[in-house]
Every structure is written in structure tokens, then in C-alpha cells.
């Protein structure tokens, strides 16, 4: 917390509840990525090839991609905590089936269910976190809720891979089911419930997509994450071309550590420096891509470029979700479902486009390809004054603005989003 935050706000900041949301994100990423590190064991356990075992990751992403928007739109009226628990429960069911199933088709079905749960969960997390705090702390709350992602990538997946190799992949998925059940108890104890939106206050997909600022944020998200996934998915062949194949683990560790640093910086400053941080993140990624293009065979340059890349990417999810939450206002959940779809499209696109580039040309084209995505991303973010609004000055230490109409609502009072008595439009409020 910085000096602009009062001691009273620190005491009120719902850290335990936000960390529960972060744990949900951690489980989501771990469930998605763990099979990639255990393909030989999973293939042997299900009596299929490693290529078919790899489709456990593909079908998960497919579930997220097809479910995020329609499920979020259909559940706008549901109370938020029961809906959150349904999404979390999907992981408990899917990981339990994965741990016990000896049938490939049944396992694939379980993975699809896990992907559907992930699509719904990611659409909920940012808006839920923002709704738990006053307006000027929304970005910080989203950063805490998103910290599970870099932690899962940098620590959880390597640790899960090691553990899966040591005790078996089925036991590893079983442990995740146990962790999910503990998370359900945690959510019930520490995460507040909120009402859904009244029928007259719900938002159509077209109306949300047409809001000023939403489309630029979605474009920047798609281009930035697509560039990331082209490089991240094929980092092993890139390093092999630089004669650094045996250092892949070290490179990914550097990326993971700097990603955690990146989200820490973003979490501390995002509420006041959203625009500057977004432009800086894109610029840092551009610098990294240029370095990799100019010195693709120099280990020192690759280590530095990887660290800069991780620093740029670590807080990206927080930046884009905060921008969209503030832009869409009380339509944030629907807008976030679009971001989830854009994000998963970029993941799939990174694998497809990166594979074609690798096969047809080679790793030397990765740097120009990344720049072709990142430069337009920077231009759009620079021009989007509504999607990425101007930075705000810090509040004087000890200053706490009086509420306009009573305390911050926690359970759907007249100032809550979606309540019939609320008359503020979505771009005039940042409550999600």
C-alpha cells in the first residue's frame, strides 16, 4: 500500500477474500497447463499417444472459448457468490474425473467441463474483485485477484510437473480437487455475496461491444497476448536455434520471476497510472522483441530480453481487465467475458500462427511478427483515451473522500450496480 492509502482503508481492504479469488485463478491456470508437463505419463495412463494427450490442453481452451460469452450473458441475473461457487465446483468435478478416469473420451469431456468453468470464472474475477472495494482501489483489488496467474505459471506448473512425476499424474489432479474443496470453504467464509443485475438493467452483447473504449481494450488485449503466445509457445525451438535448449528451464524461471515483479508494480500503481503502465508494458515488450531479433544468438541478450518480457507481461491481465472494468462500468462481467474470449483466441492463435511461422520460415521471423502486432497495439492504446484514460494525481495522504450517499454498498443497496434505483450510466461509474 502506498502513502495515499489511509490506515482505515488498509484495515478495510478485503485481502483474505481477494486472495481466495487469486487462489481460484491459480487453480484455473494449473488445471489448464499441468498436462503439458506430464504428457508422457498421461499418454501412458490413458493408452494414447503424446499428441492425443496434448489435446487435453486444446479441449480445455476450447471450452473456455465457446462458453465465456454465452454463459456470462445468461447468468447476469444470478447472485454472484453462488455463481462463483458453481464455476469453482466445476474444477473439483473435472479434476476428480481426470484423476480417476481410465477412458480417454471421458477424460476429454472432463477437461471440456473444466474449460467451461474457466471461461465463466475468468469473466467473473475482475468484476468481483472490483466490487469488493471502493472505486479508487479497484485496480489494486484486481491485481491481488490476478496474482494467482503469474504464480501458477512461474511456480505452480513447474512444481506440479515435478510432483506429478514423483507421485503420479493422477494423484496430482486429485490434490488439485482437494485444494478446490478447501477453496469453496474459503469463499463461503471470506468472499461477500452480491446480487445479479435486475432484468431491466442487463446488457446485451452488442450494447457492451459498442461502448466507447471497449473495442480498443479488446484489440490491445488480442494483439498483445497473441504476440506473447507466439513466443511463449515456441520458446523451446527459439532457444534451440540459439544453442540454449538446455537452458529452457532457466529462461522460463527468469520470465516467471520478473512476471511476479511486474504484477507487483502494476498492483501498486494501477489505480493512478493505468494508462502509463499499459503503454510502458507494450513498449517493454517491443524492446524485448527488438533485442531478440537483433541478438538472437547471444545468451546474455536473451536472458535480459526474457526478463524485460516477463516484466511487461506480468501485469498485463490486470491492466487490461482494469481498463475494461472501468470502461464498461456495471456491464463489466459481460465485457470481461469478451476479454476472456479474446485472450483464449490469442492463445489458440499463438499456437497456430507461431507453428506456421516456425515451419515455413523459422524462428528468425518471430521478432518481426511480434513487432507487427505490438506496434499497432501501442498506437491503439495511445489513441484510446476512453479505454485507457489519463493518469490521475495521487490523493493527499490521509485524505478519504466522503461517500456521496452513505457507505459503499456491499449487498445490493440502491447504489449497487444493477439496482433499479441506480441511475448512473456505465461510463460514469466504475462499479462492476
Look at residue 11 in the predicted model and tell me its pLDDT.
Answer: 57
Distance from C-alpha of 322 to C-alpha of 391, rounded to nearest angstrom: 13
C-alpha cell read off for 419: 439496482
391 secondary structure, DSSP code: P
C-alpha cell read off for 172: 496430482
Which conformational region is residue 239 in: left (phi greater than 0), alpha (psi within -120 to 50 degrees), or beta? alpha
The residue ranges of every structural domain in the chain are 15-202, 203-391+423-432
Look at residue 418 in the predicted model and tell me its pLDDT.
Answer: 36
Distance from C-alpha of 243 to C-alpha of 231, rounded to nearest angstrom: 17
Q: Three-class SS of residue 98?
A: helix
CATH 3.30.750.24 fits 15-202, yes or no: no
Counting Cα atoms < 13 Å in the Cβ hemisphere of 376 gives: 14
Look at residue 138 in the predicted model and tell me its pLDDT.
Answer: 84
**Matching fold, domains 15-202 and 203-391+423-432:** yes
Look at residue 197 in the predicted model and tell me its pLDDT.
Answer: 74
pLDDT in tens, the chain (432 residues): 444 455 555 557 899 999 999 999 999 989 988 887 787 888 899 998 887 888 888 788 888 888 888 988 888 889 999 999 999 999 999 999 999 999 999 999 999 999 999 999 988 888 899 889 987 888 889 889 988 877 887 778 778 878 888 899 999 999 999 999 999 999 999 999 998 877 666 777 888 888 889 999 999 999 999 999 899 878 888 998 999 988 887 888 898 889 889 988 998 898 889 999 999 999 999 999 999 999 998 999 999 999 999 999 988 988 998 898 888 877 878 888 899 889 888 887 888 888 889 888 998 999 999 999 999 999 999 999 888 988 876 554 444 444 433 333 434 433 333 333 333 333 333 333
Look at residue 6 in the predicted model and tell me its pLDDT.
Answer: 52
Distance from C-alpha of 306 to C-alpha of 248, rounded to nearest angstrom: 11
Look at residue 268 in the predicted model and tell me its pLDDT.
Answer: 86
Distance from C-alpha of 83 to C-alpha of 22, rounded to nearest angstrom: 16
Distance from C-alpha of 201 to C-alpha of 199, rounded to nearest angstrom: 5
Neighbours of 356 (CB within 10 A): 10
- Positive or negative torsion for Cα 173, 174, 175, 178: positive
Distance from C-alpha of 169 to C-alpha of 98, rounded to nearest angstrom: 9
Answer for the pair 338, 218: CB distance below 8 angstroms, yes or no.
yes
Look at residue 391 in the predicted model and tell me its pLDDT.
Answer: 83
H helices within 101-233, ranges in order?
104-131, 138-146, 148-151, 157-167, 169-190, 205-209, 214-233
Distance from C-alpha of 169 to C-alpha of 130, rounded to nearest angstrom: 36
CATH superfamily, with its number, for domain 203-391+423-432:
MFS general substrate transporter like domains (1.20.1250.20)
Q: How far apart are the first and last CA of the chain?
A: 22
Per the confidence metrics, is the pTM higher than 0.85?
A: no
Q: Is 204 exposed, middle or buried (0-12, 13-18, 19+ CB in 10 A)?
A: exposed
Amino acid at each position: 500500500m502506498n502513502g495515499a492509502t489511509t490506515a482505515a482503508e488498509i484495515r478495510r481492504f478485503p485481502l483474505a477474500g481477494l486472495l481466495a479469488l487469486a487462489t481460484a485463478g491459480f487453480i484455473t491456470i494449473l488445471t489448464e497447463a499441468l498436462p503439458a508437463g506430464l504428457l508422457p505419463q498421461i499418454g501412458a495412463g490413458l493408452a494414447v499417444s503424446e499428441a492425443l494427450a496434448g489435446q487435453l490442453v486444446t479441449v480445455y481452451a476450447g471450452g473456455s472459448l465457446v462458453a465465456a460469452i454465452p454463459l456470462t450473458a445468461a447468468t447476469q441475473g444470478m447472485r454472484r457468490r453462488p455463481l462463483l461457487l458453481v464455476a469453482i465446483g466445476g474444477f473439483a468435478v473435472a479434476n476428480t474425473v481426470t484423476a480417476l478416469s481410465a477412458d480417454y473420451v471421458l477424460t476429454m469431456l472432463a477437461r471440456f467441463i473444466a474449460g467451461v468453468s474457466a471461461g465463466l470464472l475468468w469473466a467473473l474475477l475482475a468484476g468481483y474483485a472490483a466490487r469488493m472495494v471502493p472505486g479508487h482501489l479497484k485496480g489494486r483489488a484486481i491485481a491481488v485477484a490476478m496474482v494467482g496467474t503469474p504464480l501458477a505459471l512461474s511456480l505452480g506448473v513447474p512444481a506440479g510437473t515435478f510432483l506429478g512425476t514423483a507421485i503420479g499424474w493422477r494423484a496430482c489432479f486429485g490434490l488439485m480437487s482437494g485444494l478446490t474443496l478447501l477453496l469453496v470453504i474459503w469463499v463461503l467464509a471470506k468472499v461477500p455475496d452480491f446480487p445479479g443485475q435486475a432484468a431491466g438493467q442487463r446488457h446485451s452483447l452488442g450494447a457492451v461491444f459498442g461502448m466507447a473504449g471497449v473495442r480498443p481494450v479488446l484489440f490491445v488485449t488480442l494483439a498483445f497476448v497473441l504476440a506473447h503466445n507466439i513466443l511463449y509457445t515456441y520458446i523451446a525451438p527459439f532457444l534451440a536455434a540459439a544453442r540454449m535448449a538446455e537452458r529452457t528451464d532457466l529462461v522460463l524461471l527468469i520470465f516467471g520471476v520478473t512476471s511476479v515483479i511486474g504484477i507487483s508494480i502494476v498492483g501498486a500503481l494501477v489505480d493512478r497510472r493505468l494508462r502509463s503502465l499499459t503503454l510502458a508494458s507494450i513498449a517493454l515488450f517491443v524492446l524485448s522483441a527488438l533485442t531478440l531479433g537483433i541478438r538472437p544468438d547471444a545468451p546474455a541478450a536473451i536472458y535480459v530480453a526474457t526478463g524485460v518480457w516477463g516484466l511487461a507481461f506480468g501485469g498485463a491481465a490486470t491492466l487490461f481487465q482494469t481498463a475494461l472494468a472501468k470502461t464498461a462500468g456495471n456491464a463489466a462481467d459481460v465485457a470481461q467475458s469478451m476479454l476472456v474470449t479474446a485472450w483464449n483466441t490469442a492463445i489458440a492463435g499463438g499456437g497456430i500462427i507461431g507453428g506456421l511461422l516456425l515451419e515455413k520460415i523459422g524462428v528468425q521471423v518471430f521478432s518481426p511478427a511480434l513487432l507487427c502486432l505490438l506496434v499497432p497495439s501501442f498506437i491503439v492504446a495511445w489513441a484510446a483515451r476512453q479505454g485507457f484514460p489519463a493518469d490521475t494525481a495521487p490523493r493527499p495522504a490521509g485524505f478519504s473522500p466522503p461517500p456521496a450517499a452513505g457507505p459503499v454498498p456491499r449487498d445490493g443497496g440502491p447504489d449497487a450496480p444493477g439496482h433499479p434505483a441506480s441511475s448512473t450510466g456505465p461510463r460514469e461509474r466504475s462499479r462492476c
